[in-house]
Structure 1
Amino acid sequence: MSTLRLIPGTPDAVLSALTEVLAGSGSPFAPLPSDPAGAARVRQAAVPDEPVEDGCAVVLSTSGSSGEPKGVLLSRDALIASASATHDRLGGPGQWLLPMKPYFVGGLQILTRSVLAGTTPVLAGDDFSAAAARMTGSRRYTAMVPTQLARYLESAADALRCFDAIVIGGAAMPADLKARAATAGVTAIPAYGMTETGSGCVYAGVPLAGTSLDLDDGRILIKGPTLFSGYRLRPELTAEVLRDGWFRTQDRGEFVDGRLRVIGRLDDVVISGGVNVTLPAVQARLLEHPEVKDAVVLGVPDVEWGTRVVAFVVGQPRRQALRDFVAETLPRAWAPRTVVQLDALPMLASGKVDRQSLLDGVR
Structure 2
Amino acid sequence: MRLAALVFDRAAEGVMVTDTEQQILTVNDAFSTLTGCTRQDVVGKKPSLLRSEKMPPAFYAEMWDKVNRVGVWQGEIWNRRKNGEPYLEWLSINTVKDKSGKVVNYVGMFSDITKVRESQQRIEYLATHDELTGLPNRALFNDRLHLALARADRSRESIGVVFIDLDNFKMVNDTLGHETGDKLLRQAAVRLLDCVRGEDTVARLGGDEFVVLLVAADREQATVTAERLLIALSASYQFDEHECFISASIGLSMFPEDAADANSLMRNADAAMYRAKDHGKNGFRFFSADLASQAGKRLALETGLRRAIDTGSYSSIISRRSGWKAIPWSVPRLWYVGPTTVRSSNRWYSFRSPSKAI
**Fold equivalence (TM over 0.5):** no
- Larger CA Rg, structure 1 vs 2: 2
With the length of structure 2 as denominator, give the TM-score of the two structures: 0.26
Q: Which has the higher strand share?
A: 1
* Higher RCO (C-alpha under 8 Å, 6+ residues apart): 1
Q: Which has the higher helix share?
A: 2
